[in-house]
Structure 1
Amino acid sequence: MKNIQIDDSLGIPKYRQIINSVYQAISNGELKVGDKIPSLNQICAEFDLSRDTVMVAFNELKAKGIIHSIPGKGYYINSVDVNVNERIFVLFDELNAFKEDLYTSFLNALDDKTTVDIYFHHFNFQVFKDLIAASAGKYTSYVIMPATFDYTADILSVLPDDKVYILDRLKPDLEKYPVVYQDFEKDMYGALTAGKDLLTKYAKLVMIFPGGKEPEGRMIGFQKFCNENKIQFEVLRSLLNRTIRKGEAYFVPSDRNLVRLVKMAAEQNLLLGEDLGIVSFNDTMLKEVVAGGITTISTDFAEMGRRLAQMVKDRSPEKIANPAALIQRNSL
């Protein structure tokens, strides 16, 4: 059969010989992008193979992006880049400065025979669902960031269990998958405890918690710390109509609210770190220099990316908590 060779005398699995045959035909220039390859039924009949054996070969070729299928027509060459060993699907919630740090670190920790396609669901459940469905069978690994979405196990069931990795949040219904995550409640409580001497000089701690995409664990850790240490606190949904006062320290997840708070402090001649405290989340280079330096509670996103890459490379089944810390600067 043209382009497919099977030798029963070789100690190489038949499905692997099919894959190698396609690779060889591409390398020799016999198969080009858009060319049709022999059908599953043709290969089964020619070499007396089971459909399962041929499907294993076809599925691996699809996962590496070498072939794709057109319903009712057959399988066609999609790429001639046979040097790619891994093809990874990455689904983030959104792109921002710290997610870019994570992604860049992830890419840098992979080898040059790995390609990565990144997509964003922007907290839209239908987009999340559609992107996962469209990716099924086309990649060797899947990195999924469910973010605020719960009960997504059925959606992920279209993907191979041993090729899925969860990122950023630990979800009870996805406990069978490996994960690199942030423990928001524990990290918040731990960071506040580490900065207790700085925080107790303020009359009140105020957390801006708008809900939505923000992790509830942060608010729970904040309330737990304040209650246990008998510190006066307040949780607000927004800064709208808020009058800031000397002796308050604000915890702001939104960078927009961070800028607004810095501006409000300047307008009232309140000195950051003395009259008013500010703590932001998710450290970036910009926060090192804004207003003389903004104190943050943040995980190490570069380390998170490296750990994720190692997990994918090792096919590790681990569940790894990526810890956060208080990074103290001028604003506290």
Structure 2
Amino acid sequence: MVATRKIAQGDLNQQVPIQSHDELAVLAQSFNEMTSRLQQTLSLLQAHKDELEQRVQERTQALSEAIQHLQQTQTQLVQSEKMSSLGQLVAGVAHEINNPASFIHGNLTYASTYIQDLLDIITLYQQHYPNPPAGLQEAIDAVDLAFIQSDLPKLLQSMQVGSDRINEIVRSLRTFSRLEEGDFKPADIHDGIDSTLMILKHRLKMATGNGIQVVKHYAPLDPIDCRLGQLNQVFMNILTNAIDALQDQGAAPSSPSQQPPTIEIRTRSLSPDWIAIHIFNNGPSIDTEIHSKLFDPFFTTKSVGQGTGLGLSISYQIVTEHHRGRLYCHSKANWGTEFILELPTHHPDETMPDLAAADH
């Protein structure tokens, strides 16, 4: 009775003792066999249940990953479209500025020559007629002819400097706007960096009270095979993050020994087949616990509406997948943060030495 009571309570490991060879023994034997089969059936059901739960968990995980991948792809498409639109806008602005600027730049040379000829004639006239009539002398004194003769060449020179500056801006805009070029082409990586700095110049000036100092140490590098428009996007993302970090530091109380906010850009050759680009800022360091998440999609430490968490993720994809290079970050307290891009100098599809063979 004890065994049957425990079996009834769910303990299927119990067996009814067989102490005779009569009908009760046969009944007990049958009861024990039924209990064993029931236990096997329950074990089989439990195994099926566990397998089903495992499948559901795997399907749920796969579905979650698929949804995340879809969201990531969708956001990247939106971001790519935004950058493409920006490229078209910048190219259009550069074109509209370039047309009138070319007229001004081209005519300034002739204007300078003509005005210098007129000034020379005036000087010769003054030498031959040092004592002009009273009415002419009054007019000369009224306009301060001596000042005009000395200042007009300086004025034209400053106009020439301004015109050269406009042409430089237009060239930078055109370089930066190469976002839609899909083919690998030889390009000067320094032009890409400089054009990005030109686009961000207003932020560099306004980020802190005295602006952000940009220090460049460019090694003599040959053009590399790349999609320069995509790399410009990488430079834009990294430099924007550096400006944000330095701006946050500038808003915090500073000590007398604190270094001025600085971004340092250094390029170097690792080997005939590889180059490196170092972008350093002396802003706050990156916390250790978030360092490993920097390149994860949608990860951001910025407040809502300030960042999508895709800038560095897309940059990592551009460098590692599109260009078969490497992108990594070093950060240390009381030092700053440095992003390092390592890029092959030749088309990634071509045979080239592995990066590990390069001398770091």
TM score, norm. by length of structure 2 = 0.20
Structure with the largest fraction of strand: 1
TM score, norm. by length of structure 1 = 0.21
Higher RCO, Cα 8 Å, sep 6+: 1
Structure with the largest fraction of helix: 2
